Structure 1
Amino acid sequence: MFRIENQFNVNFWGVRGSIPCPGSNTVRYGGNTPCVEMQVGGNHLVFDGGTGLHVLGQSMLKKMPASAHIFFTHSHWDHMQGFPFFSPGFVKGNHFFIYGAIAPDGSTVEQRLNDQMLHPNFPVPLQIMQADLDFCDVTPGESIKIDDIVVETAPLNHPGEAVGYRVNWRGGAATYITDTEHYADRMDENVLWLARNADVLIYDSTYTDEEYHSPNSPKIGWGHSTWQEAVKIAQAANVKNLVIFHHDPAHDDDFLDNVGRQAKEKFSGAMMAKEGMVIPVEVSAPLSREISVN
Structure 2
Amino acid sequence: METNPSNEFLIQFWGVRGSIPSPGSDTVGYGGNTSCVDMRIGGKHLIFDGGTGLRVLGKSLLKQSPIEAYVFFTHYHWDHIQGIPFFFPYFSPQDRFHIHGQVPPEGELMTMERHFKERVLHVNSPVPIADISADLRFHDIVCGEAFQLDDITIETKPLNHPNGAMGYRVSWRGYTAVYCTDTEHLPDRLDENVVHLARDADVFIYDAMYTDAEYHNPKSPKVGWGHSTWQEGVRVAEAAGVKQLVIFHHEPNHSDVFLDDLSHEVLAASPTAVMAKEGLILDVTQAGQ
TM band (smaller chain)? over 0.9
Show the counterpart of 1:23: 24
Does structure 2 conserve the Cα–Cα contact (< 8 Å) formed by 1:20 and 1:51? yes
Q: What is the root-mean-square deviation of aligned Cα atoms in Å?
A: 1.4
Show the counterpart of 2:65: 64
Show the counterpart of 1:6: 7
The CA distance in 2 between the partners of 1:27 and 1:4, in whole Å, is 30
Show the counterpart of 1:287: none
Show the counterpart of 2:102: 101
The CA distance in 2 between the partners of 1:46 and 1:243, in whole Å, is 17
Of the three residues 111, 121, 143, the one matched with 1:117 is 121
Q: Amino acid of the residue matched to residue 139 of structure 1? A: V
1:144 CA displacement: 2.1
Task: Give the structure with the higher percent helix.
Answer: 2
Superposed, 1:1-294 pairs within 5 Å as 5-106=6-107, 107-114=110-117, 115-125=119-129, 127-282=130-285
The CA distance in 2 between the partners of 1:85 and 1:5, in whole Å, is 29
Does structure 1 conserve the Cα–Cα contact (< 8 Å) formed by 2:5 and 2:42? no
Report the TM-score, using the length of structure 2 for normalisation.
Answer: 0.94
Does structure 2 conserve the Cα–Cα contact (< 8 Å) formed by 1:100 and 1:108? no
Q: Amino acid of the residue matched to residue 40 of structure 1? A: I
The CA distance in 2 between the partners of 1:187 and 1:164, in whole Å, is 15
SS of structure 2 residue aligned to 1:21: coil
Report the TM-score, using the length of structure 1 for normalisation.
Answer: 0.92
1:121 CA displacement: 4.2
1:6 CA displacement: 1.3
- By relative contact order (CA 8 Å, sep 6+), the higher-ranking structure is 1
Q: Amino acid of the residue matched to residue 119 of structure 1? A: V
Q: Amino acid of the residue matched to residue 135 of structure 1? A: F
The CA distance in 2 between the partners of 1:273 and 1:186, in whole Å, is 26
1:111 CA displacement: 3.6
Does structure 1 conserve the Cα–Cα contact (< 8 Å) formed by 2:85 and 2:127? no
Which consecutive residues of structure 2, in runs of 5 or more, have no partner in the other structure? none
Show the counterpart of 1:291: none
Q: Amino acid of the residue matched to residue 182 of structure 1? A: H
Aligned residues: 280
Does structure 1 conserve the Cα–Cα contact (< 8 Å) formed by 2:5 and 2:43? no
1:281 CA displacement: 1.3
Q: Identity across aligned pairs (percent)?
A: 56
Which consecutive residues of structure 1, in runs of 5 or more, have no partner in the other structure? 284-294
Does structure 2 conserve the Cα–Cα contact (< 8 Å) formed by 1:117 and 1:124? no
